Structure 1
Amino acid sequence: MARAERPRTPNSKQQAARTPSAKAPTGAQRAKPPRVAKIASRTSFAKRVKKTRARPAPTANAQHPAPPSILHPPPSTTSRAEPPAGDTAPRRKPQTDPDTGFVAVGRVAAPFGLKGELKVQVLTDNMARFHPGARLWAGQQKVTVAASREAQGHLFLTLKGFRDRTSVDKFRQAMLQVPETDLPPLPEGEYYRFQLVGLTVVDRAGNVLGTLDEVIETGANDVYRVHPPVGPDLLLPALADVIVSVDLAARRMVVDPPEWT
């Protein structure tokens, strides 16, 4: 153990051995030491104190301008430490539309926790798409669902082969999609939303009302938002007496708009 250094005090025997014998001092020798030594000691200490006092910084005036080092101090040479290259990677932009020939069933919000879970926004009514063993495309990569759970209104997925947060970070903001060929056929009169978006909407007389831009979910029935060439959007309820016909091959929808539209 390291100890602070300090002078050792010899014992009486060591002192006796090291100290030469001396006769008892006489009366003259018992006189007090001169005060000059003490005064000189204090004076030297005072001089040292004066030397160490900080001098006021020189000020600039017309007769005595300040030196250049004071008027223009040198720039600081210190700089902030740059983060590692791996920490400055740009964030992935969210994928807004599925790839050509695919249908979106969900969107990854972000990794969750440290064990490779993904927090997912569901974009389908068919929750079997997220059951263990289901196959999806996360962006351009084919993946298999290992486990899924729902908590607080959110869906959390674990993918096979991805066991930590770092491995799934590349799926951040990615679209979860399936090929259109994997979709089961629907009964007559029912359509997938991606089939309706983009249709040209016309009335019974053939007048173009606009393009079907969005399918809005409501409690009772869906509502189609139609974007016209001029003017505000039209909202058409998906009812049998409003939607006359749908021709997917011709990409055309014939409607009979209500009077209040």
Structure 2
Amino acid sequence: MHTMATALTLEPTALPSDAIEVGRIADAWGLQGWFKVQPYSADPEALFSCKRWYLQPAARGAKAFGGTVLLPIRQAKDHGGMVLAWAQDIDDRNTAEALRGARIFVPRSSFPSPPPGEYYWVDLIGLQVINRQGLALGQVRELRATGAQTLLVLAHEQDGKAGKRMIPFVPAFVDQVELPQKRIIVDWQPDY
């Protein structure tokens, strides 16, 4: 007996203004429409807590849809560094395979609150970094995991030239993260 695969019909929508890219769909998993997600975080809580994912097509390869579409999630669970997900109207392997490569976005407002003293990297991007003496050291452009520690990578200007400064994001150097004030206070000097 041959059964016809479900056609992929996803609701076109606008990407929320606070959308953050959190992963991509890697492949189908099983026969019932589940699919594997490669999260961009070691702790993909945003994927588990949000039941409405926004997809955009892969940058290259086959595209089963265009623009931004809404994907209501029935269930998502951890699977050894990957996330397994099952979505509304995705009920067979062929339909799940059509999503391969899609980029997944969720609204930042749907992220669970981190424990005290912990931060989502996305919330640190753009913050001003100043030292204890009030000297501006730069603006956070990225965070870089180096294995031993995470580094704040700052953009700054020195003598009219754009520069880069790296500060370990560890308690020995970071005194306070003040998200409402959009700043990080550090024990660091510009000549380190």
Shorter-chain TM-score range: 0.5 to 0.7
Q: Which residue does 1:88 correspond to in 2?
A: none
CA distance in structure 2 between the partners assigned to 1:117 and 1:237 by the alignment = 40
Contact 2:28 2:100 in 1 (8 A): no
What's the CA shift string for 1:114-152, capped at 9, x where partnerless?
955544221234355556x9624133414214465747x
User: Higher mean Cα deviation, 118-127 or 186-195?
Assistant: 118-127
Is residue 2:102 matched to residue 1:173?
yes
Secondary structure of the residue that 1:233 maps to in structure 2? Answer: strand
Q: Which residue does 1:248 correspond to in 2?
A: 179
Q: Which residue does 1:226 correspond to in 2?
A: 154
Q: Give 1 or 2: higher helix fraction.
A: 1
Q: What's the offset of the Cα at 1:170?
A: 5.4
Q: Which residue does 1:143 correspond to in 2?
A: 72
Q: What's the offset of the Cα at 1:228?
A: 1.6
Aligned residue type for 1:195: D
Q: What's the offset of the Cα at 1:259?
A: 7.9
Contact 1:108 1:173 in 2 (8 A): yes
CA distance in structure 1 between the partners assigned to 2:147 and 2:38 by the alignment = 20
* Length-normalised TM-score, structure 2: 0.62
Contact 1:108 1:176 in 2 (8 A): no
Is residue 2:120 matched to residue 1:204?
no
Structure 2 residue ranges without an equivalent (≥5): 1-14, 56-68
Q: What's the offset of the Cα at 1:221?
A: 2.9
Q: Which residue does 2:38 correspond to in 1?
A: 121
Secondary structure of the residue that 1:228 maps to in structure 2? Answer: strand
Secondary structure of the residue that 2:98 maps to in structure 1? Answer: helix
CA change 1:136–1:124 in 2 (3 A) is: farther
Aligned residue type for 1:165: N
Q: What's the offset of the Cα at 1:237?
A: 0.7
CA distance in structure 1 between the partners assigned to 2:137 and 2:190 by the alignment = 14
Q: Give 1 or 2: higher strand fraction.
A: 2
* Length-normalised TM-score, structure 1: 0.48
CA distance in structure 1 between the partners assigned to 2:82 and 2:119 by the alignment = 26
Aligned Cα RMSD in Å? 3.5
CA change 1:199–1:259 in 2 (3 A) is: closer
Is residue 2:22 matched to residue 1:105?
yes
Structure 1 residue ranges without an equivalent (≥5): 1-97
CA distance in structure 2 between the partners assigned to 1:183 and 1:250 by the alignment = 20
Higher relative contact order (CA 8 A, sep 6+): 2
The partner residue of 1:193 within 109, 121, 145 is: 121
Aligned residue type for 1:235: M
Q: What's the offset of the Cα at 1:182?
A: 3.0
CA distance in structure 2 between the partners assigned to 1:107 and 1:130 by the alignment = 11
